[in-house]
A and B are shown apart, each in its own frame.
Chain A
Amino acid sequence: MTTLYAPVMSVHEAQAATRRLQQAGKTLHQAHGKPASRLASVLTEVEYQQLKTQLGDSLDSMKPLEQALNGALAELEKRPRVLLELAFEPTHTFIAELKAWLTKHGPTPCLLELKMNPGVVGGVIVGWHGKRFDYSVGAKLNTYDEFPEVS
């Protein structure tokens, strides 16, 4: 299956990429001239260069190009989601760090979904295939054993 993207993408990035690929598919059929040149204005530079590397001489052939776009679209749709619940709004730098961590230690390819949850307090809750793995300070506080017991 064709992939034009990094092993870990945010959900927003994947949604934007999906829209671009769909637009590229339409442009391919509607316009005249060389197919690849039509896509340059729709796709990002990285996507276009990736396509160029993958297709090589077939870049201007309609069928391989269409297959590559559809393959990339299918690959994005099939990616599983990793949900990270945080107690704060992460910076772009920190999101990049989380992606790097997932690339190294997580399931790839995947989509990263971030959710703000004040109940986390600190640390993180990882969501994967409907299961939650709680590494939060909030969970530790819930097990604090000095709360009064109901008599």
Chain B
Amino acid sequence: MTLLKTLMRARDPRKNVSPAMAATSQAEQIIAAATQEAKEILNRAHTIRSDAESALQEAAEKQQLLLQQALEEETRNLQKQAHTAISTMLDELKKETEGAVSSVVTDAGKQLDTVQHQLVATLALEQKKMQAGLEGVRRKKIHSLTATLQKEIPVIVKKVVGRSLALADHEALVREALDDAKHDTIWT
């Protein structure tokens, strides 16, 4: 049951004219206004949450792109280094083993292919890890933001309602609460 339904229950202030009832009615109106304000705060909170989520998503994508570019660059460098190293090795072998040049060339080509395959696999694995990491960070941020909102909104609403009530409203609410208490077995 919502707060409004709880507080507006089972009475029509227009039919009751006692000061207590009038005060209760006024209190209910104030609470209804505060509830409305709470809803507006809630709507704003949803917007903030949505904006924050978009901003986080955008930042994550940007970061991912930068990392991917860096990783690709690094891979290209590694490939280049591997190629140079193997070519040097090949040249040296050519000089040392005059009779078996063709077989050495074939082996060096296979090695180069293997290195390239390994680099591509490493790149894919790193990308996967990076995506999982960014998603974790994003979830954590959203969770923290939502938890803060969940904690803060009741505090704001309580302050608004508490400040809005006049002494007579407070007294009427206590009378009503004590009426409820009468039906419970508190003193056993």
**A interface with B by C-beta (< 8 Å):** 86-88, 90-91, 94, 98, 101, 105-107, 118-119, 121-124, 126, 128, 133, 135-138, 140-151
- Return chain A residues, CB-CB under 8 Å to B153: 147-148
A151 touches B157 (CB 8 A): no
The CA-CA distance from A49 to B162 in the complex, in Å, is 44
B2, B171, B176: the one contacting A146 at CB < 8 Å is B2
User: B interface, by DSSP: helix, strand, loop or mixed?
Assistant: helix
A122 touches B178 (CB 8 A): no
The CA-CA distance from A136 to B110 in the complex, in Å, is 79
A87, A90, A122, A148: the one contacting B146 at CB < 8 Å is A148
A–B pairs, 19, beta carbons within 8 Å: A88-B165, A94-B174, A98-B174, A105-B181, A107-B187, A122-B169, A123-B173, A123-B177, A126-B181, A135-B177, A137-B31, A138-B158, A141-B3, A141-B154, A142-B154, A144-B154, A147-B150, A147-B154, A151-B142
Contacts A88-B170, A146-B2 given; does A122 touch B181 at CB 8 Å: no
Let me know if B49 is at the binding interface, CB within 8 A: yes
The 8 closest A-B pairs by CB, nearest first: A135-B177, A123-B177, A122-B173, A88-B170, A107-B187, A124-B177, A121-B162, A123-B173
B184 touches A145 (CB 8 A): no
Q: Which of under 10, 10 to 19, 20 to 34, or 35 or more describes the interface residues of B?
A: 35 or more
The CA-CA distance from A121 to B169 in the complex, in Å, is 11
Let me know if B124 is at the binding interface, CB within 8 A: no
The CA-CA distance from A121 to B31 in the complex, in Å, is 10
Smallest beta-carbon distance B63→chain A, Å: 22
